[in-house]
Structure 1
């Protein structure tokens, strides 16, 4: 069962019935035909939900199809080598998501080869938070729940908190729950949340970005020159050397790349810190001075 939040609809705003039916009208008008919609495979839905975290929809489509071609089932992903999984993920960014998905597949393969079919069991898996678990339940199983994703958040902020800044999710969750369990929404959770996602995307495309008024909003820092950019560079370089590559060579090549990009070379302590993090997270291993995929 999805996360339980006591449904509540405060007085003084648009009645719940009116709100739900108006949102369903937006769903009909703004529907986007995306490849991961209207499918019953929880694993394929989970892959889409993980990929869509912090990544634009337009970029996810080809990666989702390519990833599922390479690893069509939980068992196939569990049987794959980490470097192969990361290779299929290259270009999406935030590679930790791929490792968490791989660890989830490993756990599920060891216990029957299927994703669990309850919210609480999904929530216990690596990299699956409340929104992802609720998304899998709604989109794969047609079970209503509290799915507070960025575009869903945008809709509720825009519609119900038009004049407030710093709105916390704890205030949104009871409203999302009340709407999701309304009979007209709960009859088809997929349609309900597809509609909210599409309306939220429409708001942002038309220049409105209500998520900036969320307490959880933070502007993403620039990628170029960041620690994330250096992590990504090191991961790509090590994965390109199946036999391993000396850490000293990796740092030397990274320094040349940074200088070529008109940035300073990488401090030795920073390089060691990044490599230690990547090793501990499972991106590659250390064999003496060699970094090995």
Structure 2
């Protein structure tokens, strides 16, 4: 049990509770149990020790579909290289992608830099205006809610993978195809008895991590569940390899890329190069591809 090494198997099993209902007494019982669990076993992360909107956005973007043990060193590295939105806005794209390596989904890094540039209009920060937050590229409902709750202690519906697992396990154990709207309504009810939104959501997430270790994946019962496609030999893998090659070793012709990436077909390499150029990750000049440097 790597996430909670201080919790024995017997102690962990004691945190598998009977189903809860939405009546006030049951909701309060659930809140109390969750917060007591967090008080004893809550995890410590650097991004939980700050309310800086830049730090919160950076951590939330990095944590999307990425394990915390991979994020923690990258989070520290990025803050050492680019301590503020202003610094990140000026980061060369090739350097940004080079240091992003290992986190996957390179589009997130591109959107992060675009967001940093947008914050210049707001004094190099993110205001607590939901509409402005939602205007940031790649920022959806979950990330927007995280900024509101974690930076500004505002009541917001933050539904992410681990929290969804908790609600499905504790309140919808006999249901299939549960829609997020139902879970969001339940979260709104639970928030009515919460004073510290940051602590509450951290507690829910940590309990969700414990449930992941103890039970089959409850998220398969979500109406929005989609199994992730195979990564090996996928276009996602190929795009990542192209970006890493260009950011690690410099510009390459298409012939060089095809020779290095010979385990992929030339047609797929050309297709991915075209995509990456269209999206702004890669620039082509006279048949030579490079990460653009502004």
- Distance (whole Å) between structure 1 residues aligned to residue 79 and residue 159 of structure 2: 26
Aligned equivalent of 2:271? 273
Aligned equivalent of 1:172? 183
- Distance (whole Å) between structure 2 residues aligned to residue 84 and residue 167 of structure 1: 42
Secondary structure, aligned partner of 1:146: coil
- Aligned-pair CA distance for 1:205: 1.6
* Candidates 209, 214, 228, aligned match of 2:222: 214
Question: For the Cα contact (< 8 Å) 2:89–2:117, is it kept in 1?
Answer: yes
Question: For the Cα contact (< 8 Å) 2:21–2:27, is it kept in 1?
Answer: no
- Distance (whole Å) between structure 2 residues aligned to residue 141 and residue 254 of structure 1: 47
1:216-235 matches, within 5 Å, as 216-235=224-243
Question: For the Cα contact (< 8 Å) 2:63–2:71, is it kept in 1?
Answer: yes
* Candidates 264, 289, 293, aligned match of 1:291: 289
Aligned equivalent of 1:5? none
Secondary structure, aligned partner of 1:286: strand
TM-score normalised to structure 2 length? 0.87
Count of aligned pairs between the two proteins: 272
Deviations 1:131-171 (A, max 9, x none): 00101111121112100010110110001100112211111
Match status 1:57 vs 2:65? no
Which consecutive residues of structure 2, in runs of 5 or more, have no partner in the other structure?
1-19
* Candidates 108, 127, 132, aligned match of 1:116: 127
* Candidates 99, 108, 116, aligned match of 1:105: 116
* Candidates 192, 196, 214, aligned match of 1:188: 196
Deviations 1:10-46 (A, max 9, x none): 7579632222222222222330011210212110111
- Aligned-pair CA distance for 1:221: 2.2
- Distance (whole Å) between structure 1 residues aligned to residue 239 and residue 283 of structure 2: 15
1:80-95 matches, within 5 Å, as 80-95=91-106
Match status 1:38 vs 2:39? no
Aligned equivalent of 1:159? 170
Aligned equivalent of 1:261? none
- Aligned-pair CA distance for 1:73: 0.3
Which stretch of structure 1 is more off in the superposition, 212-221 or 129-138? 212-221
Cα pair distance change 1:111/1:189, threshold 3 Å = closer
Question: For the Cα contact (< 8 Å) 1:146–1:177, is it kept in 2?
Answer: yes
- Distance (whole Å) between structure 1 residues aligned to residue 170 and residue 62 of structure 2: 27
- Distance (whole Å) between structure 2 residues aligned to residue 29 and residue 117 of structure 1: 31
- Aligned-pair CA distance for 1:240: 2.6
Deviations 1:99-130 (A, max 9, x none): 01011011112442222222221111101000
- Distance (whole Å) between structure 1 residues aligned to residue 43 and residue 22 of structure 2: 33
* Candidates 75, 85, 88, aligned match of 2:86: 75
Which consecutive residues of structure 1, in runs of 5 or more, have no partner in the other structure?
1-8, 259-264
- Distance (whole Å) between structure 2 residues aligned to residue 90 and residue 42 of structure 1: 23
